Structure 1
Amino acid sequence: MALAGLKVIEIAGLAPAPFAGKVLADFGADVVRVDRSTSTMNLDVLAQNKRSIALNLKSPAGIEALIRLCEKADVVIEPFRPGVMERLGLGPEVLLKRNPRLIYARMTGFGQEGHYAKMAGHDINYLAISGVLNERSKSGKGQVVDAAMINGVNYLGSFVYNMNKAGALFQTPAGTGQLDGGAHFYDTYKTKDGLFMAVGAIEVEFYKLLLKGLELDEERDKLPEQTDSSNWPKMKALFTKIFLGKTQAEWIKIFDLTDACVTPVLDYYSMPTPTPAPRLLRTPAKASASNEGSDVFLEVGGHSKDILAEAGFSEVEIRDLVAKKAVAGAGLEKSSL
């Protein structure tokens, strides 16, 4: 597999960091999730192809154990707000001193510095506020990768930003433009059975196919020019009425495999099972065995003993960590080490 042999330490956290770890694991990396030894609940549903070690990061012995694990790792992924890892004694200056080749990947909402740096947030906040990695094989040195979600949203918006700067997009009030809900040919429409279809027929040739599927004729029905925004509200009302006349399945049959750019809006129950991306022909990723029920969860500390042993901890050292309550895991306390 493409990332076979890559060792990754993932500090347990919420969705973005676990997803990054899942991508690496799906492509063959050995991803070890560091859980809290006191954790009684596991909410991570992105744990496929990973292993878990449960450490007490409030214990000096637990901190040192994690540092030793990082000494033999290629990548560490941390999901906390700015300053948390430093307060634990696990900041970049500590880990990179022990392992200069380590890639230290940080995941925050608003970045390490700035007005909102220490504030909690979710997707909608990052969207509201928004306006990589050099391979160490070239230099022999690792580095800090600071990935803030607000910066990611901003970066993904490069196309929109540059188009808007050039005067090609969003020169009208919000909700009245071509791509933000104003145009009748770029929106979603409710169907007879309460489901939805998405329409994205921007180009002229695609728009003509859209009209054909809706059984409309520009000349016969005296339709206005596609780009005449003054008539967009009227056209949107017409499209709304027409789409309500058929079920989603009927519209799928009409538009399927055409270039009209009309597709169904899938719900969580009908969407395809998520698979690793991108697809590699020679070294494909390993698909998750199951995405249902308890199989999506990873037992907290289920691999603690094996992970420590692989990192070079002796039986005496492991027993000492257990005694100090620096590590936990299924069977460790009763283990005959």
Structure 2
Amino acid sequence: MPATLAGIRIVEFGGIGPGPFAAMMLADHGAEVIRIERPGASFGPHALARSRKAIGVELKSPQGVEIARALCRDADGLIEGFRPGVMERLGLGPDTLLAGNPRLVYGRMTGWGQDGPLAQAPGHDINYIAVAGLLDGIGTPGAPPVAPVNYVGDFGGGGMLLAFGMVSALLAVKRGAPGQVVDAAMTEGAALLASMSWGFKAAGMWHDGPAANLLSGAAPFYRTYACADGRHVAVGAIEPQFYAALAAGLGEDPDGQMDSAAWPMRAERFAARFATRTRDAWLTHFAPEACVSPVLTFDEAATHSHNTARGTFADGAPAPAPRFTATPAAPPQPSQPGEWTDRVLADLGYDEPQIAALRAAGTIG
């Protein structure tokens, strides 16, 4: 069977981070993604650019803009990650393109959104999750908050949310709705990821600051510990039966799990106990019900028995996810900048002399 999104065509305007991640997810599951880069540009991390039809087009030239418009007239969706107003100044804004293709789903990926006081302000993942309220709770007491790489803003609250928005709007078009703009802001996506924490706050069960809550490191049964060899284990024994198995493995009393006043002292005892053995020795010591896992490096994760059995990684990068039983994703394909330029232009009706003239003018690469 064809992959889930087979038959969907997406035009991606080259960028970095969350936009390419969203396009990668769509391409992984069968969408035809045509990625437009400036001639001579190079991709960012190769995994994010996989499975694309990459072309080199100079969008500062009228001929390049016309190529982009021609692609969008026959596309189902578009993804761009520029600051608000950039695509409009290029003559590629949503009003223009939706006039030529009323069914187009126009995906916009920004940090702050298309409007608001910060819409034109520069920023990166750490700025967006700071304003969303998430960064305050990540880290250890007495130290500044810790940036969780760029997983939360760029990819969880950004690219993944844009991919969800694109698929939702594409489904709406299939049901007869018009094309529309998908305004995906990383600040709002990051805030959405914290929905459960906001629920705790509404119930009076949330405390500001790092390591102040059950799931942020306050509880001794939900945190990481250093072992004798300097490596670490992650403990997630929340349910009483799992905590009982953890306590048994550490030689601790299983009573009083939810006595938060005793958590700091208990965490100190747990830490001292974990420091007496190596990480792997603890893994063989605990029963599976104790919910003790190794904290793995990338290289270790790639060779872990569960990940290899599932095929979680392939060719040095994460494999497509999620899994579909009837319409599985095809293996990711490598993509090189500009490799599809001539073929895509030929599909648009450009002949060889026209393509040669565009290349001589620097319009294509």
Which TM-score band (shorter chain)? 0.7 to 0.9
Letter of the structure 1 residue corresponding to residue 293 of structure 2:
T
Verify: 1:261 aligned to 2:291, yes or no. Answer: yes
1:311 alignment counterpart? 348
Once residues 191 and 220 of structure 2 are traced to their aligned partners in structure 1, the CA distance between those partners, rounded to angstroms, is 27
The answer as to whether partners of 1:38 and 1:56 remain within 8 angstroms in 2 is: no
Paired with 2:214 and 2:8, the residues of 1 have a C-alpha distance of 45
**CA RMSD, 1 decimal:** 1.8
The residue that corresponds to 2:5 in the other structure is 3
Larger mean Cα displacement after TM superposition, 301-310 or 44-53: 44-53
Q: Does 1:192 align with 2:228?
A: yes
What displacement does 1:316 show? 4.1
Alignment of 1:102-113 (within 5 A): 102-113=104-115
Supply the distance in 2 between the matched residues of 1:313 and 1:260 (Cα, whole angstroms): 64
- Inter-partner Cα distance in structure 2 for 1:61 and 1:162: 52
Q: Secondary structure at the match of 1:146?
A: strand
2:256 corresponds to:
225
Q: Deviations over 1:35-55 (max 9, x none)?
A: 11142x332321221121000
Distance 1:182 1:24 in 2: 38
Determine if contact 1:255/1:263 at 8 Å carries over to the other structure.
Answer: no
Aligned equivalent of 1:221: none
* SS of residue paired to 1:170: coil
Query: Do the aligned partners of 1:107 and 1:146 also contact (CA within 8 Å) in 2?
Result: yes
CA distance in 1, matches of 2:54, 2:129: 33
Flag structure 1 segments of 5+ consecutive residues without an equivalent.
Answer: 219-223, 290-294, 329-337
Aligned to 1:43: 44
Q: CA deviation at 1:113?
A: 1.3
Change (3 A) 1:11 1:173: closer
Q: CA deviation at 1:173?
A: 5.5
Q: 1:175 and 1:25 mapped to 2: Cα distance?
A: 38
Deviation at 1:116, TM superposition (A): 2.1
Structure 2 match to 1:33: 35
Higher helix share: 2
Q: Deviations over 1:144-163 (max 9, x none)?
A: 11111111111121122122
Q: Determine the C-alpha separation between the residues in 2 that align with 1:172 and 1:316.
A: 65
Q: Which of 252, 257, 276 pairs up with 1:216?
A: 252
Corresponding residue number in structure 1 for 2:60: 58
SS for the counterpart of 1:235 is helix
Write the distance in 1 (CA, Å) between the matches of 2:118 and 2:286: 45
- Number of residue equivalences: 313
Deviation at 1:287, TM superposition (A): 2.7
1:326 is the counterpart of 2:363: yes
CA shift, 1:172, in A, is: 6.3
Do 1:72 and 1:311's aligned partners in 2 also have CA atoms closer than 8 Å?
A: no
**Counterpart in the other structure of 2:332:** 288
CA–CA separation in structure 1 for the residues paired with 2:198 and 2:356: 57
Residue 249 of structure 1 pairs with residue 285 of structure 2 = no
Q: In structure 2, give the amino acid aligned to 1:287.
A: P
Q: Letter of the 2:358 partner, please give it.
A: L
Residue 145 of structure 1: aligned partner: 182
Alpha carbons of structure 1 residues 199 and 309: separation in structure 2 relative to 1, 3 Å: same
Bigger radius of gyration, 1 or 2?
1
Q: Which residue of 2 aligns with 1:332?
A: none
Deviations 1:112-147 (A, max 9, x none): 112222223232222211143332111252111111
1:94 corresponds, among 84, 88, 96, to 96
Residues 107 and 181 in structure 2, CA contact (< 8 A), matched pair in contact too: yes
Q: Which amino acid aligns with 1:245?
A: T
Mapped contact 1:195–1:265 kept (Cα < 8 A): yes
Contact 1:61 1:324 in 2 (8 A): no
Deviating more after overlay: 314-323 vs 238-247 = 314-323
**Deviating more after overlay: 14-23 vs 209-218:** 209-218
* Paired amino acid for 2:290: A
CA contact (8 A) 2:43 2:49 kept: no
Corresponding residue for residue 162 of structure 1: 199
1:237 counterpart residue number: 268
Alpha-carbon contact 1:18-1:44 (below 8 Å) kept: no
- Where 1:164 maps in the other structure, the secondary structure is helix
SS at match of 1:145: strand
Q: Which residue type is aligned with residue 246 of structure 1?
A: R
Aligned to 1:13: 15
Following the alignment from structure 2 to structure 1, what is the Cα–Cα distance between the partners of residues 209 and 338? Answer: 53
C-alpha spacing 1:217/1:232, structure 2 compared with 1 (3 Å): closer
TM-score if structure 1 supplies the norm length? 0.87
